[in-house]
Amino acid sequence: MTQFNMLCPLIGLFLFIAFIWILVSIGHNTDYYSVHAYGLPIIHNDPNLKTELVFLGLDHPTSMAFLGADDILVLEKNNGTVQRIVNGNMLDEPALDVNVANKRTRGILGIDVAGNPTRGQIYVFLYYTESSRGIDGSDNCQVDVCNPAEPLGNRLYKYELRDGKLVSPRLLLDLPATPGTGENGGPVRVGPDKNVYLVIGDLLHPRTIMSNNSTGLPPDGTSGVLRITQDGQPITGENILGDADPLNKYYAYGIRNSFGIDFDPLTGKLWDTENGPLYGDEINLIEPGFNSGSSVVQGIWYSNPSNLSIAGNVAPLKPHGLVDFDGKGKYSNPEFIWLDTISPTAIAFINSDKLGKKYSNDIMVGDINNGNLYHFDLNDKRTGLILKGKLADKVADTYAENKDIIFGSGFRGITDMQVGPDGYLYILSYYDGAIYRIVPIKSIIPRQSIINLLDNNQIWKPFGQTTISQNDGTLTINVDSNKPLKIYNRSFLPTKINYHMNKTLLLNLDYVSKSDMGNATFSVQIRENSSTYNTNGTKKILWSSLLHNTSGNLTSESFILPDEVANKPVEIRLYVITEGKGQHTLAIKKANIVYL
Ligand SMILES: [Ca+2]
Ligand SMILES: [Ca+2]
Ligand SMILES: [Ca+2]
Ligand SMILES: [Ca+2]
């Protein structure tokens, strides 16, 4: 006993060091902040702001548009569905479901809304890769047959919103969707001039003169920002680069690919983010006739002919070898560059002071690789960004140089951002399938525990070959597997999670998992605990997740739970899935469910 008391501080110190080691080793990976990736995203350096979950349960969402306060249309890339989220709930039926080709970055990609809602006229512009068969994923191998078919095209349609459905589609632009399956672009915005702006990339093949391939094919609509009226026509008297179709629809060109455009609310000027080939991601101010330089220049560097994934020499301010349409096309350098790719996506101007006056009309940029949000101030003339220290050269030369511009993290793949009618910033998370928003902390609401899963009143039950013990506030699950086959062992807790509406449910676990076989899987799962079983004899899985650390180190993870786990009898299950003979242990040190 005395020995144990002496050991306790040492064990505590060891666990603390182990935890710090985990933090540091994650930090050295790609993202300082990814330790938070399974909780709510966090805001750095501003204690007055926090993130909230608006909706969870979307399937690979790519883009969104507001119909009104708490009324959002969201696109699901691979299904071709336009879902509608009203007051934090998804309507039972999508507003539209089209057939999309969905390989790589193909799918339903861009949306914006225009019209006069008070007169009941709402037009929805949708950009998607249209399937050539009456199914989604026609360009992939199907379950039983591998006979992929090329898509019909990357197409921009105008729909009308009537009785909650998108109807009367009208094809405005019919653009190529081949030869490549990537770099389809996608962002659609109705500009302050009421015209429709769309970006499409080079489809992985910079083969036209719009990609600065001076001996290439004629313009085909790819590699640029296209601008048309809401009826799909070129703008009368404003053919920037030339009169022939489709050259007359180009607002900018030389764009490898983009997932984000927005208009400066003060100047009306267009900005974009662009994606380089493993180097040279960009933020650009786009004047009419802008040439971004691809495929000759990316970032500030000439393309390297011997290895297209590595930057070549720095190009002069007027690079040679560009197509300029008799001087009508004008190259300019980006306003910001990431040397190592982060894959920037959405760009949004904060045309609101609801997050604080210091952010009014500032730029936010999201990325897909790290799930980070980056913040930029503009200069007085709003022609560039205010950049200091190691960023004064306009280049994040290393990931560490991003430190001063990372505003938020843990968004797990940002695909779109919009300032809502309420003035808060809404952020779409691709991998979480979630809409978050950033709001001010008006009052600190303490996290209230709904249920402590290790409470003495909570009796866990073993199943399969598990033995369990509940000592000193730790629940330990042991599996001594002597069978060579895969075996599901579990402990479960029959319980009920009561909670109040409009709160975010979080499951917090501190655990140590290890297996001397190295091939056990540990997971946590919530199932319905009704007296009825599904037809296959199982109980319905409401939510599940893997436990990610099996190193034997103490690990803290937080999980956002869906609303449907609450207010009904459930079983919380801890699984140890063994695939051979051995000892497997899962020790739960802390487990509670709270709401935010
Ligand atoms: Ca579909
Ligand atoms: Ca460029
Ligand atoms: Ca500012
Ligand atoms: Ca730098």
Q: 42-46: which pairs have CB atoms within 8 A and are 24 or more residues apart?
A: 42/408, 42/409, 42/410, 43/407, 43/408, 43/438, 44/406, 44/407, 44/408, 44/409, 45/407, 46/356, 46/407
pLDDT band at residue 501 under the 50/70/90 scheme: low
Q: Are residues 352 and 493 in the same domain?
A: no
Q: Which residues contact 230 (CB under 8 A, 6 or more apart)?
A: 114, 123, 125, 158, 190, 194, 195, 196
Confidence check: pLDDT of 447 > 60 = no
Interatomic CA distance for residues 394 and 284, integer angstroms: 11
Q: Indicate the average pLDDT of the chain.
A: 88
- Tell me how far CA of residue 184 lies from CA of 25, 200, 222, 234, 285, in angstroms: 36, 5, 8, 21, 21
Contact at 8 Å (CB) between 235 and 195? yes
**205 shares its domain with 57:** yes
Tell me the Ramachandran region of residue 232: left when phi exceeds 0, alpha when psi lies from -120 to 50, beta otherwise: left
> Residues 237, 354: one domain?
yes
Q: List, for residues 308-359, the tens digit of each pLDDT value.
A: 889 999 999 999 999 999 999 999 999 999 999 999 999 999 999 999 999 9
Among 175, 217, 216, 219, which Cα is nearest to 199's?
175
Question: Does residue 206 form part of some domain?
Answer: yes
Query: 526 C-alpha vs ligand 1 centroid, how far in Å?
Result: 29
Of 379, 413, 440, at which residue does a domain stop?
440
| 94 alpha carbon – ligand 1 mean position (Å) | 10
Is residue 1 predicted with pLDDT exceeding 50? no
C-alpha 263: how far from chain center: 21
- Which ligand is the nearest neighbour of the Cα of 99? 1
Ligand 1 center to 155 CA (angstroms): 15
pLDDT at 456: 78
Mean pLDDT of 180-186: 96
Do 272 and 376 fall within a single domain? yes
Q: How far is the CA of 189 from the centre of ligand 3 (A)?
A: 24
**Domain co-membership, 233 together with 361:** yes
Number of domains in the chain: 2
Alpha carbon of 61 to ligand 1 centroid (Å): 13
**Do 233 and 227 meet the contact criterion of CB atoms below 8 Å apart?**
no
pLDDT at 286 over 70: yes
The whole-number pLDDT of residue 443 equals 41
CATH value at residue 566: 2.60.120.260
- What is the pLDDT, as a whole number, of residue 535? 62
CA of 106 to the centre of ligand 2 (A): 23
> Ligand 3 center to residue 438 CA distance, Å?
16
Q: Establish if 75 belongs to a structural domain.
A: yes
Q: Residue 279 Cα, ligand 2 centroid: separation in angstroms? A: 12
- Residue 518: pLDDT over 90: no
Q: What phi and psi values does residue 15 have, to the nearest 5 degrees?
A: -65, -40
Backbone angles phi, psi at 562, to 5 degrees: -75, 155
Nearest ligand, measured from the Cα of 378: 3
Among the bound ligands, name the one nearest to the CA of residue 353. Answer: 3
Indicate whether 358 belongs to any domain: yes
How many Cα atoms are found within 13 Å in the side-chain-facing hemisphere of 315?
A: 26
Domain ends where: 404, 421, 440?
440
Whether residues 402 and 484 share a domain: the answer is no
Please tell me the distance between residue 545's alpha carbon and the centre of ligand 4 in angstroms: 39
Does residue 9 belong to any structural domain of this protein?
A: no
pLDDT for residue 97 is more than 60: yes
How many whole angstroms from 543 Cα to the centroid of ligand 1? 24
State the pairing for strand pair 521-528/363-367: unpaired
Residue 504, pLDDT > 90, answer: no
> What is the per-residue pLDDT for 88?
85
Residues forming beta bridges with residue 462, ordered by sequence position: 491
Compute, in angstroms, the gap from residue 78 CA to the centroid of ligand 1: 7
pLDDT range class, residue 13, cuts 50, 70, 90? low
Q: How far is the CA of 378 from the centre of ligand 3 (A)?
A: 7
Prior bond to 569 cis, omega within 30? Answer: no
* 16 is a domain residue: no
* CATH number of the domain where residue 84 is located: 2.120.10.30
Angle at 320 between CA 316 and CA 321, to 5 degrees: 145
420 shares its domain with 448: no
One domain for residues 405 and 457: no
Ligand minimally distant from the alpha carbon of residue 94: 1
Summarize pLDDT for 210-250 with one digit per residue, the tens. Answer: 999 999 999 999 999 999 999 999 999 999 999 999 999 99
Q: What is the pLDDT of residues 43-64, one digit of tens each?
A: 998 888 989 888 999 999 999 9
pLDDT band at 33 (very low <50, low <70, confident <90, very high): very low
> CB 73: neighbour CB atoms within 10 A?
24
Split at pLDDT 50, 70, 90, the class of 2 is: very low
Indicate if 290 and 334 belong to the same structural domain. Answer: yes
Over residues 69-82, the pLDDT tens digits come to: 889 999 999 999 99
Q: How confident is the model at residue 531 (pLDDT cuts 50, 70, 90)?
A: low
Of the listed ligands, the closest to the CA of 399 is 4
Residue 234 burial (CB count, 10 A): 20
Does one domain contain both 317 and 340? yes
Nearest ligand to the C-alpha of residue 397?
4
Note the ligand closest to the C-alpha atom of 280. Answer: 2
Coil, strand or helix: which one is 34? Answer: helix
- Least confident stretch, 43-57, 381-395, 438-452, 459-473: 438-452
pTM of this structure: 0.72
Decide if 123 is inside a domain. Answer: yes
Same domain, 235 and 249: yes
Domain range enclosing 318: 39-440
Tell me, in angstroms, the distance from the centre of ligand 4 to residue 281's CA.
13
pLDDT, average across residues 376-389: 98
In this structure, the answer to whether residues 413 and 472 fall within a common structural domain is no
In a domain, 128, yes or no: yes
Find the helix or strand (DSSP H, E) in which 27 lies: helix 2-27
Residue ending a domain, among 440, 464, 490, is 440
- Which residue in 55, 178, 47, 67 sits closest to 113, CA to CA? 67
Residue 199 lies in a domain: yes
